[in-house]
């Protein structure tokens, strides 16, 4: 587990789809705000749509730092709520960077891309919290070890993040 | 769908775990042999263990070409049955290359890494055949579109590959 | 050229070797401080040695934000002066991310790795400033177009960065 | 240095620009033919232009195996003389894969991209042969160690490759 310097904030990765419901976006927006309010950096895929846009907006409005790991180099695809865009120009290969750079990964509703990130995060030993999203019965061994957990609300996610950080 | 030149062989990606049962390895070995016998190139993760080693061995013994997309640069980790090792030295980010370079992806038994490859393949429009491996109920929309299919034996996989190639 | 939102700071990439002279480290430290003092984000390769460590230390001590694009996933290799470590685990392939994510690239003294970053930055249209480092007569066409420039001191680098930002 | 199995052919990477002179293309074509005639695999950037197209054509016409490491996923950009296209979809980050996967790197005439590949190859300990291309006075330390050499003709390149393979 990565040593956290006093000046090095915890990074929370928020993964999720580009095309999701308003309800999921509202939850991601609220989650982003709570992440920032706790002094953590929000990291996501950086695009201007879906869970990425919503969570970045929530975090930035609460004064948080927002980092986006972009799949392409087109500046028009970057969410305006991302402060620090990291331009990979390597498509889905950047999913691996997303999870390796996060202390904890929260997976909101999403499609195949989001599932690939859950899988990569678990493979690399990162705690994963599913918010209103189920991948059961996959990854049951990770669930039994407590690395994969579920939450229904942003507030519940925050409780689990705090527990993960305390007992890494 | 990628245009296939007369001199450009079909590439079949075979994904699967590093630590799997003998039964799964025997099936992967048989599958590799059938892929080579059909004149297709076998592509996998290139390591000297599990499904990778077994499928490469099967293909090479039948005179096929075997390509391995390696996650690291240690030559000791390359399967001796891989003819053409591609050294990415980029860990799991290479999973994206595995699926993008395959005309059809076959997923044998595996863990989180294999599931990430199934997810990435579907996201990028590649046909995926699960051999004795279930990820249900995930990806049901891809199953209904016929992009995700299941097979119990290597012979069944070959039938589905032929159908995929004919009707890309 | 990337549009810069009011809340999106300019990112200055500082490239350079892991094993350089004390004099080059002192200049990189001073440069990092000036970058932070101007309100810009410092981005570098993130390791705890050479130009990376020195420039991050300079920026962090002036209250700047420091982003490191790490080649591996070993937390012991991260400079303690990097606030936001981005873990790529893809070795030198991350050099491409370094330059694509920077609005302006400053190349301090370095070896083959640094030269690869200068080359990639120029290829992708990024302004490159060489600080006490010569790659002449290579890249003369870029120099004639004004994309590649030289400076002897951190203060001179800052003047050129300001000009680049004004006239992108 | 990578152990070469009896069934594992030597891989020669041929790097060079997309927009080069007819003379350079003819030399690359001849070089590709000689690489194939020696039983070596030709690996390059895979695109349908410049040194990539010419060297692949030369090798394929001599019955060789040609591998292309493509920067994007557009099938229209693949040279028709590439037998095994590896689709990275990661732009210039694939330059690192090009050199890591080659036993010996030959750099023909090119621009910033080619220079980045020479730099990365040297950094990772690969022998580099410049064919009618100069990067002097850069990399003089590598030249003195004999890792970086120069040749005027394809035939001279082949002599140096054979020496490199004999004394890795």
| pLDDT tens string A135-157 | 999 999 999 999 999 999 999 99
What is the model's pLDDT at position C167?
78
Residues 98-117 of A with CB under 8 A from B: 111-113, 115-116
Average pLDDT value over all residues in chain B: 95
- Using the beta-carbon criterion (under 8 Å), do B8 and D82 form an inter-chain contact? yes
- Does residue D1 register a pLDDT over 50? no
**Percentage above 70 pLDDT, chain B:** 95
Residue of chain A nearest C63, judged by CA positions? A7
By the CB < 8 Å criterion, does A74 face chain D? no
B102-141 exposure pattern, b = at least 16 Cβ within 10 A, e = fewer: bbbbbbbbbbbbbbbbbbbbbbbebbbbbbbbebeebbee
Cα distance between residue A37 and residue A41, in whole Å: 10
ipTM exceeds 0.90, yes or no:
yes
- Asked if C49 contacts C22 with a C-beta cutoff of 8 angstroms, the reply is no
What is the model's pLDDT at position D167?
78
Tell me the average pLDDT across A53-57. Answer: 98
Tell me the average pLDDT across D137-151. Answer: 97
Q: What is the CA radius of gyration of chain A?
A: 14
A contact test, residue of B86, B105, B118, B119 with most A CBs within 10 A: B119
Rounded to a whole number, what is the distance in Å from the CA of B113 to chain A's nearest CA?
6
Q: Which residue has the tokens 């993130």?
A: C46
Cα distance between residue D17 and residue D21, in whole Å: 10
Show the CA angle centred on residue D158, arms to residues D153 and D160, nearest 5°: 95
Residue of chain D nearest A93, judged by CA positions? D90
Question: pLDDT band at A167, cuts 50/70/90?
Answer: confident
By the CB < 8 Å criterion, does A86 face chain B? no
What is the three-state SS of chain A? CCCCCCCCCCEEEEECCCCCCHHHHHHHHHHHHHHHHCCCEEEECCECCHHHHHHHHHHHHCCCCEEEEECCCCHHHECCCCCEEEECCCHHHHHHHHHHCCCEEEECCCCHHHHHHHHHHHHCCCCEEEECCCCCCCCHHHHHCCCEEEECCHHHHHHHHHHHHHCC
Question: pLDDT band at A168, cuts 50/70/90?
Answer: low
Q: Which of C9, C83, C124 sits opposite A7 (nearest CB)?
A: C83
Rounded to 5 degrees, φ, ψ at C34 are -70, -35
By the CB < 8 Å criterion, does A89 face chain C? yes
The pTM of this model reads 0.96
Rounded to a whole number, what is the distance in Å from the CA of A97 to chain B's nearest CA?
8
What is the model's pLDDT at position C6?
56
pLDDT digits over D43-82, tens only? 999 999 999 999 999 999 999 999 999 999 999 999 999 9
What is the model's pLDDT at position B6?
56
Burial class, B144, CB count within 10 angstroms (exposed 0-12 / middle 13-18 / buried 19+): exposed
Query: Of D2 and D118, which is predicted with more confidence?
Result: D118
What is the model's pLDDT at position B4?
44
Which residues of chain C fall short of a pLDDT of 50? 1-4
- Helix residue ranges per DSSP H, C38-131: 50-61, 94-100, 112-123
By the CB < 8 Å criterion, does D87 face chain C? no
Tell me the average pLDDT across B48-76. Answer: 98
What is the model's pLDDT at position A2?
42
- Does residue A118 register a pLDDT over 80? yes
- Does residue B8 register a pLDDT over 50? yes
What is the model's pLDDT at position D84?
98
Enumerate the residues of chain B whose CB falls inside 8 A of the CB of residue A96. Answer: 90-93, 95-96
Rounded to a whole number, what is the distance in Å from the CA of D72 to chain A's nearest CA?
9
By the CB < 8 Å criterion, does C122 face chain D? yes
The helix/strand/coil state of D85 is strand
- Does residue A129 register a pLDDT over 50? yes
- Asked if C131 contacts C152 with a C-beta cutoff of 8 angstroms, the reply is yes
């Amino acid at each position: 587990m990565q040593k956290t310097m006093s000046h090095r904030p915890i990074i929370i990765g928020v993964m999720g789809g580009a095309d999701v419901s308003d309800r999921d976006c509202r939850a991601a927006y609220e989650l982003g705000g709570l992440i920032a309010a706790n002094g953590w950096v929000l990291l996501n895929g950086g695009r201007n749509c879906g869970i990425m846009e919503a969570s970045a907006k929530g975090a930035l409005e609460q004064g948080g730092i927002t980092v986006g790991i972009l799949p392409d180099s087109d500046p028009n695809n970057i969410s305006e709520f991302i402060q620090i865009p990291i331009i990979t120009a390597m498509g889905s290969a950047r999913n691996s960077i997303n999870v390796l750079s996060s202390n904890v990964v929260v997976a909101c509703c999403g499609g195949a891309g989001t599932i690939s990130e859950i899988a990569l995060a678990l493979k690399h030993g990162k705690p994963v919290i599913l918010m209103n999203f189920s991948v059961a019965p996959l990854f049951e061994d990770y669930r039994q070890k407590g690395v994969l957990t579920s939450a229904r609300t942003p507030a519940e996610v925050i409780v689990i993040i705090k527990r993960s950080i305390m007992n890494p």
